[in-house]
Chain A
Amino acid sequence: MPAPLVEAINLRKYFKTAKGMLHAVEDVNLKVYPGKTLGVVGESGCGKSTLGRTILRLHQATSGQVLFQGEDILKYRKKDMKKVHLNMQMVFQDPYSSIDPRMSVRGIIAEPLEVCGALSDKKEINERVEQIMELCGLPANHANLYPHELDGGLRQRVGLARAMAVSPKFIVCDEPVSALDVSIQAQILNLLMDLQDDRGLSYMFITHDLCVVKHISSEIMVMYMGQVVEYAPTEELFRNQLHPYTRALLAAIPTVDLSRRNRERHTLTGEVSSPINPAPGCRFAPRCPYATEQCRREYQLREVSPGHFVACNQCR
């Protein structure tokens, strides 16, 4: 196994709120390998976006480490972060609000090149913008258009082109296809996979959609209220889910397979409780049909088979 490109160690992000500490990300450990995709799945509010942003230092971590090629980037000073951002970029969920409506497509894609100081010559920048646009499937004559003239799929390509402009090694994709129609979603997913094949990119792919994540990831991490509940290679996870939450999540997905239509379903009852000053122990316990006293006291992520981690006291 090669050395991981990005690694998070005991990463923690708390937010101060009027009601107390909000534990958004709790002791997360993860590794992203070169040319691979780590899928991060969970429902809204589970901390998956916060995790992605904390890794890129868009949020300041409360504690823990983020290693990029072995170096802890959380220790870097602000001006050194620009160099880090040449290698680590992000694509956001909403293609309508994540690009500046008052900048042209060319301006949007050129901006990271100027900010990170990758290129300074105007001609070079223009050439690079054109290359990147072609790479991301944007017609060359769209360079002078403004975001409102583009539809959702094209805007998301602009968002991706902006991230790709500095030729990063690692991209955090935060729900990049959730706001798109299925036919457009497939185009963007294919584009992401092509870019990965061509350039050996690594992704951290954040989504709530297990079908999408199965399609694109090599490893999957399932989160619940800031905690990692299960972490395994994709095939292993779909063959052998161990955590009750992962199972419930999979069972809840509607499928086009009619033979599974009237299957026995274990619908989860209740809803996610508050992540503000949470009780110790497993945070899924209040909704878990198998929870015991022990679950309410302790939470521990254990390796049950090589590469397969589960945070459940009940499965051995």
Chain B
Amino acid sequence: MADNTKNTSENLLEVSDLHVQYRTDDAIVHAINGLSLRVKQGEKLGLVGETGAGKTTLALSILRLLPARVGEITQGSIVYNGDNLLDQPESFMLGLRGKRISMIFQDPMTSLNPTITVGKQILEVLDLHFPELSKADKSEKVDEILKMVGIPPSRKEDFPHQFSGGMKQRIVIAMALIAEPELLLADEPTTALDVTIQAQILDLMRELKDKFNSAVILITHDLGVVAEFCDTVAVVYSGRVVEYGTVEQIYARRENHPYTSGLFNCIPDLTSNAPRLVPIPGRMADPRIPIEGCCFADRCPHCTERCRKAAPPVVERDGHGIMCHLFTEGGER
């Protein structure tokens, strides 16, 4: 993104030109390839993309939780409140994770420890980050957060398997929020849930976000969820942000990256009556092979010679950025 160095004071998180690789036995997988984004205090950013776009890798990179020896950040910086997280010692990260930045994982069924009562699991966060609190204070805080997410505190002696999927996700949210983090990374928090429960969880996250004024990065593949929850959107494809802007700019559908338009066209919508969906042909490029030109060229209806040769720059107008040759000088638009 062009003006990454500006507004440093306002931005809570600035990811610049991030490159992440996974080294496997037979190849190097280029998961993130020059991704940049910014999040302001209290902002709700929706990170949209399909499987394999690098969304979860980004969240893990921010927390420096990439699998050791396999995942590696090869280039770029992640500046959080003025500190480049990539230069910090592990002890610094330990104080950050769960306290100032917390994460909600996709699958509530597997992200809780099945052998520990939920009360104890929530308490763990406080034991780790607020050792100065008395036992009674901690216990009171646990009760308070459970009430806030709509679970009777009397159930804190229960084990995860005694709860339904929606309730487990509430517990995970309680764990993520008990330390009142400045930044919440929510990785597909509602994907595993039914729509009526999804609506409840989104309402809950909205309420809690207003209460603590945390910034949220909501990772999802669901454009509808983003429209309902977020202020700003970053569309990720092949490990790059191909389009970013406010929800209004992107959902107006006047100017979009061809990939974003493709996404809009292929979701069946309740309000439209189109007889056929327009799928995006092909599939995402093999991340093991570095791409020279535009990462979307193979699937793009507007692809030209230029797209295959040179990677397009990001063209930004009023904070709405699109990474596409169509919008550069000499492009069609």
Contact = CB atoms under 8 A, between A and B. Distances in A.
- The secondary structure that dominates the A interface is helix
Nearest to A265: B199
Interface stretch (B71-79, B115-123, B222-230): B222-230
The bracket for how many chain B residues form the interface is 35 or more
B304 to A, nearest CB: 22
Contacts of A257: 227, 269, 271
A43 B195 CA distance: 8
B247 interface: yes
A181 B276 contact: no
B268 A214 contact: yes
Interface stretch (A9-17, A80-88, A245-253, A275-283): A245-253
A145 interface: no
Given A214-B270, A261-B228, A268-B200, A43 B247 contact: no
A210 B196 CA distance: 12
Contact of A267 (B196, B264, B270, B280): B196
A255 B269 CA distance: 7
A155 B196 CA distance: 30
B198 A252 contact: yes
A185 to B, nearest CB: 7
Given A210-B270, A255-B227, A186 B197 contact: no
- The secondary structure that dominates the B interface is helix
B248 interface: yes
A157 to B, nearest CB: 12
Contact of A258 (B194, B225, B227, B268): B227
Contacts of A151: 283
Interface in B192-208: 194-200, 202-203
B194 A186 contact: no
A267 B200 contact: yes
B267 A238 contact: no
Contact of B251 (A44, A153, A256): A256
A23 B278 CA distance: 40
17 contacts: A43-B195, A181-B51, A182-B50, A183-B262, A183-B283, A186-B280, A193-B276, A215-B277, A248-B196, A252-B198, A254-B222, A254-B228, A256-B251, A256-B264, A258-B251, A268-B200, A269-B200
Task: Kindly list the 5 A-B residue pairs having the minimum CB-CB distance in the complex, ordered from nearest.
Answer: A254-B224, A186-B266, A186-B279, A186-B277, A43-B194
